[in-house]
Structure 1
Amino acid sequence: MNLSLPIAPSPDVSCCSDDSALIRTDWKPTFPLCWFHTPWSSSRAGGRCLSRHPDFVAAKQERNLQAAERVISDLYTDRIFDLIENHVCYDDRPLVVAPIKTPEINKNALSLAYAYAVASTFGLYVDRSIISKVTYRRDRKANNIDRLVAPTLFEGEVQSNKNYIIVDDVLTTGGTIATLKGYIEQNGGRVICTTTLAAGHGVAPLAHSGEMRQFGVKIALSEATFDGLKEKLGKQFDELDDAFRKGFHYGLQHLTEPEAQYILGQISYCKRRGEDFMDSFGKRLVQARTRAVA
């Protein structure tokens, strides 16, 4: 199948497969886990989670900063700040940055409130000069394929040779973090670690086992998972990679671990149904992209 994807025009991104035009950067094998404080949801009645907090709606959808501060105060875990501190060089004083929109359209106070919580814990500063641009249509109920085809784009000044800590409210597939990381690194900064207040039900099972159980999710694409994509896609690997580079402005090597695991699951799903993966999944990609750029 010759996969042709609708491309949303952007003055900052060239629609080609040249690596200089891509919005994400390569993962380092040593990139740390994305640490989170609480799951998004819980199957246990009264279980500790973000979605059931009484102030969640006001914090997430009504830009209520006081509600967001109460949510963080109730759900944070000291252990997470200990893990972040392992990557903080106080001589360098990294900046804390969150994927926030302009105040006129931003309804979510959680990301910014968590950024200030991290910054105040370590005596750091929040960098509010980088903001996300509304380029694609994507609502709060977007599924994994919608997130793949509608990456968040960013603009604003990056301080060259400066270390950054990326924070967000919820880790779903990690795409927003990966794109913000790409923006910072392509403009001369360095991303040293990432953290979120919560992890969605789709990625929480990927939390690291052992000492950090339910605290860390591997966000950097692993070599084993990338090799698994190559093996399962076979001759279709290059076709899908080219489609991603031209349509979404990042390659399969720039996927997050949860994104790649999702695609591997879709490959297995198509195989069980006796469907050609590129034909079935490709059509869904085109449909999702069309919704995003409409």
Structure 2
Amino acid sequence: MSDTAKPPRTPWGTFPDVLIHAPESAVKQHHAYKAAKSGDGASAIALVNDTMSEQQNQRLAELLRGHTPTLVSAHAYEREGVNAIPEIFADELSKTLGWPVDEAVLQTNVVAHTGADGFSRLARQAEFSGAIQPGCDYVLVDDFVGMGGTLANLKGYIESQGGRVLAAVSLTGKPHSAKLALTPERLRELRMKHGTELENWWIGRFAHGFDALTESEARYLARTATADTIRDRIAAAEQA
């Protein structure tokens, strides 16, 4: 992440849990997964059609009854190429729900989160660009939710440009990662563990306070023994 481009984040409010469609094993052990992750569109279509959950689509439609949001995917650059899964997932959701897809918003940097540890995910923050329609409602679409930082940054980008993000969906992810919105209890735990000095350092490094972290990010930091360890591991991951 460059010094001049620090992805914005916005308050969580009552943001709903991510709707996760399938277990990790069903997605990552699928015969088409590797090719889809490397950019093969036909493989991505096969993967999404085999693992997308009609029940979760119905839950999303019910959650946003009365809205016609735009689906926007986190086009992620991987070591092997551009991950085709989020865009194809958004396209398939559009066919099912009748909602439009925005293809103009793109991730502009390579973060290499797949297989990365928590500090690498925290250090290498996804950045986005592309036109946002002020006042428009959006739903975020991704293939995997881990610590939730990419979704948090995509939400921040859209809302900083005047859009409204109503929900997020992911093809797979860890069940505990579905909760993006930071709880007051977790925020209090993190601040009591590591104090004001680390949070001020964090603001200087990432341009947002602990209150803009996801629940999983805050839990990860709260379980790290010392503030010095956090600073050292973040610095090392940024230089890797």
Shorter-chain TM range is: over 0.9
Counterpart among 157, 182, 206 of residue 221 in structure 1: 182
Partner of 2:21: 37
Partner of 1:66: 42
1:50-108, CA deviations, whole angstroms, 9 ceiling, x for partnerless residues? 110001011111x1111111111111221111111123345x52100011158xx9521
Deviation at 1:189, TM superposition (A): 0.4
Partner of 2:32: 55
Instruction: From the superposition, tell whether residues 101 and 36 of structure 1 become closer, same or farther in structure 2 (CA, over 3 Å).
Output: closer
Q: 2:9–2:153: 8 Å Cα contact kept in structure 1?
A: yes
Deviation at 1:162, TM superposition (A): 0.5
Partner of 1:82: 58
2:236 and 2:159 map into 1 onto residues whose CA distance is: 31
1:227-252, CA deviations, whole angstroms, 9 ceiling, x for partnerless residues? 1112222xxx2222122221122221
For residues 1-294 of structure 1, what are the structure 2 equivalents within 5 Å? 8-10=2-4, 12-13=5-6, 23-28=8-13, 30-41=14-25, 49-61=26-38, 63-90=39-66, 92-100=67-75, 106-134=81-109, 137-138=111-112, 140-199=114-173, 203-204=174-175, 206=176, 217-233=178-194, 237-266=195-224, 270=225, 277-291=226-240
Query: Match for 1:130: what amino acid?
Result: V
2:32 and 2:150 map into 1 onto residues whose CA distance is: 24
Partner of 1:210: none
Q: 2:113–2:120: 8 Å Cα contact kept in structure 1?
A: no
1:190-229, CA deviations, whole angstroms, 9 ceiling, x for partnerless residues? 0000000000xxx32x27xxxxxxxxx2111111111111
Instruction: From the superposition, tell whether residues 84 and 173 of structure 1 become closer, same or farther in structure 2 (CA, over 3 Å).
Output: same
Query: Match for 2:151: what amino acid?
Result: I
1:106 and 1:115 map into 2 onto residues whose CA distance is: 19
Question: How many pairs align?
Answer: 238
Partner of 1:160, secondary structure, is coil
Partner of 2:231, secondary structure, is helix
Q: 2:17–2:168: 8 Å Cα contact kept in structure 1?
A: yes
Partner of 2:227, secondary structure, is helix
1:113 and 1:196 map into 2 onto residues whose CA distance is: 12
Deviation at 1:279, TM superposition (A): 2.0
Partner of 2:22, secondary structure, is strand
1:236-270, CA deviations, whole angstroms, 9 ceiling, x for partnerless residues? x222212222112222111111111111222xxx2
Alignment gaps of 5+ in structure 1 = 1-6, 14-21, 42-48, 208-216, 271-276
Query: Match for 1:147: what amino acid?
Result: R
TM-score (norm: length of structure 2): 0.92
* Greater CA drift, 248-257 or 165-174: 248-257
Question: Matched residues, percent identical?
Answer: 28
2:148 and 2:129 map into 1 onto residues whose CA distance is: 19
1:195 and 1:265 map into 2 onto residues whose CA distance is: 27
Partner of 2:223, secondary structure, is helix
Q: 1:100–1:106: 8 Å Cα contact kept in structure 2?
A: no
Q: 2:32–2:46: 8 Å Cα contact kept in structure 1?
A: yes
Partner of 1:38, secondary structure, is coil
Alignment gaps of 5+ in structure 2 = none
Return structure 1 stretches of 4+ with deviation > 6 angstroms.
none
Query: Match for 1:145: what amino acid?
Result: F
Cα RMSD, aligned residues only = 1.9
TM-score (norm: length of structure 1): 0.76
Q: 1:150–1:248: 8 Å Cα contact kept in structure 2?
A: no
